[in-house]
């Protein structure tokens, strides 16, 4: 099982426990950290995908979506 799959498994495990019996403060912190890492990974993957897509505009110019959208929020805090 990959590290990402292990994180997803743990996120789901904590979610189900929270619904059934609640989480300790430590488990809530772990869940929040795991979710933050997961979302960060998803964003990085999306930026990577956008970087490989070029679009031809009506005026004939070619625009890379990674440059257009991927870098715009790079400085935004998570």
Residue found under tokens 């890492």? 37
Q: Name the E strands within the chain.
A: 54-56, 62-64
> What pLDDT does 72 receive?
52
- pTM of full prediction above 0.85: no
49 pLDDT tier (thresholds 50, 70, 90): confident
Q: Where are the domains of the chain?
A: 3-70
> What pLDDT does 32 receive?
96
Averaged over 9-35, what is the pLDDT?
96
pLDDT digits (tens, 9 = 90+) for 55-77: 999 999 999 887 887 665 444 44
Return the closest-CA partner of residue 54 out of 67, 73, 71.
67
Q: Say whether pLDDT at 10 is over 80.
A: yes
């Amino acid at each position: 099982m990959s590290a990402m799959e292990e994180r997803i498994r743990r996120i789901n495990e904590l979610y189900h426990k929270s619904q059934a019996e609640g989480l300790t403060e430590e488990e809530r912190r772990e869940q929040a950290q795991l979710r933050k890492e997961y979302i960060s990974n998803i964003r990085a993957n999306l930026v990577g995908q956008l970087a490989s897509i070029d679009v031809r505009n009506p005026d004939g110019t070619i625009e890379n979506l990674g440059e257009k959208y991927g870098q715009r929020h790079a400085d935004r805090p998570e």
